Chains A and B, each alone.
Chain A
Amino acid sequence: MNETVQAVPDAMERVIIRTVKLRKVYSQKKVETVALAGVDSEIYQGEFLSIMGPSGSGKSTFFNMIGGLDSPTSGRVMIDEVDVAQLTAIELAFLRCRKIGYIFQQYNLIQYMTALENVTTPMTFAGLSPDDARNRGMELLDLVGLKDRWAHRPIEMSGGQQQRVAIARSMANLPTILLCDEPTANLDFNTGQEILEILKNLNGQRGVTIICATHDHRMLDICDRLIWIRDGLIDRVARRDEVDIQLGSVGGEAS
Chain B
Amino acid sequence: MSLAKLFDLTWTAIRYRLFRALMTVLVITVAIAFAVNLLLGAVNARIVRQNTEEELEQHKSVSRWASRISQSLNKDLALAEFVSAARSEELIGFAGISKEQFTSLSEVAGQGLAFIEFLETLQYKERRELVGAVVNVSFLDELVDGDRRSGFLEMLSQFPAVRLKMSLEEFEAMLENWVEVSHTLDVFVANRNEALRSLLPLFGSKSPIQVLAEGRDELLNRLNEIGFQIEPEEYRQVVALAKTEALAIHLENSFTQLDLKKALARRLNTMPYQIEASRVWRSLQKQRNAEWYLQNYQELADNKVEWSATDAVFIARQRLREAKLQDAYNATIDAKDTRGLFGLSVKMSVLLIVSLAVCGVGITNALLMSVTERYREIATLKCLGALDVSILLIFVIEASLQGVVGGLAGSLIGGLTSFLGALLSFGSIFLQEAPIFEMFKVFLLALIGGALLAGAAAVYPSWKAARLAPLEAMRIE
Instruction: Give A residues with C-beta under 8 Å from B.
Output: 64, 69-71, 89-90, 93-94, 96-98, 102, 106, 108-113, 117, 121-122, 124-127, 130, 169, 172-173
Contact = CB atoms under 8 A, between A and B. Distances in A.
B471 A64 contact: yes
Interface in B432-475: 469-472, 474
B138 interface: no
A96 B386 CA distance: 9
B113 to A, nearest CB: 67
A127 B387 CA distance: 12
B385 A89 contact: no
Interface stretch (B12-20, B45-53, B243-251, B283-291): B12-20
Q: Which 4 A-B pairs have the closest CB atoms?
A: A97-B385, A112-B16, A122-B384, A69-B471
Given A70-B469, A70-B471, A125-B1, A112 B13 contact: yes
Sort chain B's interface into a size bin: 20 to 34
B258 to A, nearest CB: 85
B380 A111 contact: no
B16 A90 contact: no
Q: Taking each of A111, A117, A124, which has the highest tally of chain B beta carbons within 10 Å of its own beta carbon?
A: A124
Given A69-B469, A69-B470, A126 B381 contact: no
B90 interface: no
A99 to B, nearest CB: 9
Contact of B380 (A108, A130, A173): A108
A155 to B, nearest CB: 11
28 contacts: A64-B471, A69-B383, A69-B470, A70-B469, A70-B472, A71-B469, A89-B387, A90-B387, A93-B382, A93-B385, A93-B387, A93-B388, A94-B385, A96-B385, A97-B384, A98-B385, A108-B379, A108-B383, A110-B380, A112-B13, A117-B12, A121-B9, A122-B385, A124-B2, A125-B390, A126-B385, A172-B384, A173-B385
A98 B386 CA distance: 11
A111 B385 contact: no
A112 B15 contact: yes
A110 B381 CA distance: 9
A69 B388 CA distance: 14
Contact of A121 (B15, B381, B470, B472): B381
Contacts of B383: 69, 96, 102, 108
Nearest to B4: A130
Nearest to A90: B387
Interface in B352-396: 376-377, 379-388, 390
B163 interface: no
B5 interface: yes
Contacts of A64: 471
Interface of B: 1-2, 5, 9, 12-13, 15-17, 376-377, 379-388, 390, 469-472, 474
A127 B470 contact: no
A96 B384 contact: yes
B281 to A, nearest CB: 68
Contacts of B384: 96-97, 102, 121-122, 125, 169, 172
A77 B471 CA distance: 16
A93 B469 contact: no
A39 B371 CA distance: 35
A108 B374 CA distance: 11
Given A69-B470, A125-B1, A96 B16 contact: no
Contacts of B379: 108
Given A90-B387, A126-B385, 6 more contacts: A69-B470, A70-B471, A70-B472, A96-B385, A108-B380, A110-B377
Q: Taking each of B376, B380, B383, B472, which has the highest tally of chain A beta carbons within 10 Å of its own beta carbon?
A: B383
A71 B470 CA distance: 11
A231 B16 CA distance: 43
Contacts of A98: 385
Contacts of A69: 383, 469-471
Contacts of B381: 110, 121
Contacts of B469: 69-71
A113 B471 contact: no
A172 B388 CA distance: 20
A111 B470 contact: no
Contacts of A117: 12
A124 B382 contact: no
B223 to A, nearest CB: 84
A108 B385 contact: no
A62 B101 CA distance: 94
